[in-house]
């Protein structure tokens, strides 16, 4: 490759990485945590704390829903509880707006799906930086830039791919060590980063892409064709003849039997969808989750009146569209291989966050003056932005855990405290990084993140120890796992704080991270 071409790819790699890197750090750190979505949900609502409507059956919920909202019988869904600390809730559309309600909420339904679940909030940070609508499209653009950074990085390092992978030169040259670590992690996790970039762009920009193709290539017919190609239940016309409906327990068991005969080893229903409820042509769709398969989610459509199987999209009965979507979803979220794959994706998520953090550090080190105390403004700005955004993200998410813990025990709505704590600590960290000497801000923010992360995990563990011992189950194990992981992350932040402090005291005196630089420059 010509030197000029190599420099062009180096420039593309650098600037796409820098532009997208901050958003990707948030997405990867939050994404690493959201791999354990169900575990975080159990941590917020442990099995020994029953939800208000946990004892209400699904059939009773449907009965109450239709008594107060009879028009909903034409089309509504029921999200099934995952455990005793959650309750089933219904979903339907009324006057053009979505409505959600548990059994006790049907008279005054809410307009948001989740009741301020911490796991869903962290997912929103991963998916759209917590910004409704605009954040999703922003992350789609970021994913495209991420893909460009990957391609250019591959072309840069392709000639020395093997040597870059095995090189880890530990010594006084910290820039070379960071470069080796950055390259090794990039090479090791390259296949997964390609998966994340492609699937992330598809998920976030899907609506825009569909609309563009509908106009440019399909003469306005794509949306109807897409709906027909992806539907998982037959479209039926109501007969107008009232009929009794089978209990939901019967429908679920018949769907499970049909699913297990389709090549999967498990089928755990989590969602029911009804059309024309109470009519002899009523249709019930049962969606369930299967383990150890890329087709994680599948649906079985039944007659709600007599239980006949109308359609099957599970296991080897999945359509080409179903297989494609299920594969994209499973590969992006790591939902296809049980605990082993979850932990692998967790580690890859943290490694990905480190990749973007280290990329910024390398940019700073490459552009700072080696023998001068005064550093270019651009390196100082990038250093402050890096510690403010990256460490602030970790601090903010730990703050969201702490705020949720307090809100749940006070019996108040956790949604607002979650957001105030997360965004407040994030913005506070960014402001702190702007006014405090860089070396001190780095160390102090890392220590604050470490202490908060460990504190909330230890406090939760201590407060739940007796309940865990008395009511031990796999769900209690999930709660324990979240606490132990929080302690491990806190220890990791503490080690980083110690390393940053050591570098500030004993590292290059002319570095932007040095205490000498802080003493000689205005704060």
pLDDT 10s digits, 383-439:
999 999 999 999 999 999 999 999 988 888 888 999 999 999 999 999 999 999 998
d(CA 65, CA 245): 15
* Averaged pLDDT for residues 265-270: 92
Cβ atoms 243, 322 nearer than 8 A: no
pLDDT for 14: 79
d(CA 386, CA 378): 12
Torsion from C-alpha of 406, 410, 416, 417, nearest 10 degrees: -20
Cβ atoms 446, 429 nearer than 8 A: no
The answer for residues whose C-beta is within 8 angstroms of residue 447's C-beta and 6 or more apart is: 493, 494, 497
Question: 333-359 burial, b for 16+ CB within 10 Å, e for fewer?
Answer: bbbbbeeebbeebbebbbbbbbbbbbb
**Going along 4-161, which residue ranges are E strands?**
75-79, 89-94, 97-101
The answer for residues whose C-beta is within 8 angstroms of residue 230's C-beta and 6 or more apart is: 321, 322, 325
* Averaged pLDDT for residues 278-305: 90
pLDDT at 510 over 80: no
Output the six-digit token pair for 8.
């062009």
pLDDT at 277 over 80: yes
pLDDT at 8 over 50: yes
Cβ atoms 261, 316 nearer than 8 A: no
H or E element in which residue 377 lies: helix 377-386
Long-range pairs of 52-55 with CB within 8 A, sequence gap ≥ 24: 52/87, 52/102, 52/104, 53/87, 53/88, 53/102, 53/103, 53/104, 54/81, 54/84, 54/85, 54/86, 54/87
d(CA 209, CA 212): 5
- Which has the closest alpha carbon to 483: 50, 94, 36, 51? 36
pLDDT at 518 over 60: no
DSSP state of 242: B
């Amino acid at each position: 490759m010509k030197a000029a071409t190599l420099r062009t790819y180096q420039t593309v790699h650098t600037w796409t990485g820098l532009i997208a890197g901050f958003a990707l750090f948030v997405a990867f750190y939050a994404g690493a945590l959201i791999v354990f979505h169900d575990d975080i949900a159990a941590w917020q609502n442990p099995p020994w704390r029953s939800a208000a409507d946990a004892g209400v059956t699904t059939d009773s919920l449907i009965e109450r829903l239709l008594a107060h909202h009879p028009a909903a019988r034409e089309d509504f869904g029921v999200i099934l509880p995952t455990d005793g600390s959650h309750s089933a809730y219904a979903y339907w559309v009324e006057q053009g707006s979505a409505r959600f309600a548990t059994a006790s909420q049907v008279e005054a339904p809410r307009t948001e799906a989740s009741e301020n679940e911490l796991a869903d909030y962290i997912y929103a940070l991963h998916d759209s930086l917590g910004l409704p609508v605009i954040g999703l499209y922003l992350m789609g653009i970021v994913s495209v830039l991420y893909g460009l950074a990957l391609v250019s990085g591959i072309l840069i390092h392709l000639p020395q791919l093997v040597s870059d992978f095995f090189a880890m030169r530990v010594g006084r040259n910290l820039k070379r060590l960071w470069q080796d670590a950055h390259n090794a992690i990039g090479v090791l996790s390259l296949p997964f980063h390609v998966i994340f970039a492609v699937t992330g762009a598809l998920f976030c920009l899907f609506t825009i892409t569909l609309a563009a193709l509908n106009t440019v290539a399909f003469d306005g017919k794509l949306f109807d064709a897409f709906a027909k190609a992806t539907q998982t239940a037959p479209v039926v016309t109501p007969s107008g003849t009232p009929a009794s409906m089978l209990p939901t327990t019967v429908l679920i068991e018949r769907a499970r039997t049909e699913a297990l005969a389709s090549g999967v080893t498990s089928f755990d229903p989590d969602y029911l969808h009804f059309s024309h409820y109470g009519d002899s042509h009523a249709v019930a769709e049962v969606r369930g989750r299967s383990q150890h398969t890329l087709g994680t989610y599948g649906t079985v459509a039944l007659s709600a009146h007599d239980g006949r199987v109308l359609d099957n999209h599970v296991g080897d009965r999945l359509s080409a569209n179903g297989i494609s979507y299920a594969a994209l979803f499973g590969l992006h979220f790591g939902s296809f291989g049980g605990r082993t794959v979850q932990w692998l994706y967790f580690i890859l998520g943290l490694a990905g966050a480190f990749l973007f953090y280290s990329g910024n550090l390398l940019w700073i080190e490459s552009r700072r003056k080696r023998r001068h105390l005064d550093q270019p403004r651009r390196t100082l700005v990038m250093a402050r932005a890096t510690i403010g955004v990256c460490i602030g993200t970790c601090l903010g998410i730990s703050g969201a855990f702490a705020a949720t813990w307090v809100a749940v025990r006070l019996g108040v709505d956790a949604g607002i405290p979650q957001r105030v704590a997360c965004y407040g600590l994030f913005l506070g960290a960014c402001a702190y990084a702007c006014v405090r000497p860089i070396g001190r801000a780095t160390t102090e923010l890392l220590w604050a993140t470490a202490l908060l992360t460990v504190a909330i995990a230890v406090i939760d563990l201590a407060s739940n120890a007796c309940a865990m011992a008395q009511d031990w189950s796999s769900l209690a194990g999930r709660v324990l796992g979240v606490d132990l992981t929080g302690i491990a992350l806190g220890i990791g932040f503490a080690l980083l704080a110690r390393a940053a402090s050591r570098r500030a005291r004993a590292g290059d005196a002319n570095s932007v991270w040095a205490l000498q630089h802080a003493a000689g420059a205005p704060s």
